[in-house]
Amino acid sequence: MIYRTKLKIGEFSQMMQVTVKTLRLYEQKGLLHPSEVDEWTGYRYYSIAQMQRLSSIRTLQQMGFSLAEIKEIFDSDTAVPPMEQLEQKITDCEKQLHLLQGRLQLLLSLRDSRKEISKMEKFSIQTLPSIIVASHREVIKDWQSLGPLCTDVIAPEMHRLGCRCPVPGYCFTVEHNKEYKTTDIDIEYCEQVEEMGQDSAVIQFKRLPEVPMAVCMVHHGPYDRFYESFMELFRYIEEQGYHVTGEHRTVYVDGIWNQKDPEKWLSILQVPVSKD
């Protein structure tokens, strides 16, 4: 006597990589009934032979046949799709392929155009107008000291002096070191104000002349990656035939004061240039 292997629905599901929910759906649609259902426990058992039937269902679904169509195929004498039905599926598939190819071309065109727009937005040529700024220059211990200097020293003093800042605000730093330094950094913080005020020991007011032309680049991310953007920025300046004519400005738009995630920090690098 040949022993017939009986697989519980969970075991059958695992081996055939089909969810139990899907097996119950196939049973409901009359496609794949358990080979045995225990009348006392209600356990469903499947046979080894049913693995092939399940495989056929999955293959026909991949070809685009609906469950209702598969049921009709299984109920036929041959249990395989008739030739005319296969031809119709091939025609339908070719139509869908044509539509998908057209959709792909539209998506590729949109993606490429967005890339071009993004590249154009990354660099811009701007005129930096003459402005009045409240300025503070100091040699700070390290870059981590810049944030507390702005929030704990400069901001309270500007408030005490009654400074009014335009909206949106415009603040930037200028590095006066002749080389990159991680300590003893000679930095000047400038923030645009609406009018000249009375100088104090912390704040000096001055009018900055117009910068006729500056190449500006958006930088996303923490400040220790500025070098990556500067490398790209100066390569662009050189490729476009510009000449650097002044000290660059680092403009802070979003930072630790309103974004905890450094990857969301937004800065703008501005380099004064001219072109022959």
C-alpha 204/C-alpha 214 separation (Å) is 25
C-alpha 249/C-alpha 138 separation (Å) is 16
Are 226 and 255 a contacting pair, CB within 8 Å? no
pLDDT in tens, 143-160: 778 888 888 999 999 999
pLDDT value at residue 117: 46
pLDDT in tens, 80-126: 888 888 899 899 999 999 888 888 887 877 776 555 545 546 788 88
Residue 140 neighbours by CB under 8 Å, 6+ apart? 146, 149, 184, 185, 187
Q: What rounded mean pLDDT belongs to the chain?
A: 86
Are 236 and 243 a contacting pair, CB within 8 Å? no
pLDDT in tens, 32-47: 999 888 888 888 889 8
Q: Is the pLDDT of residue 180 over 80?
A: no
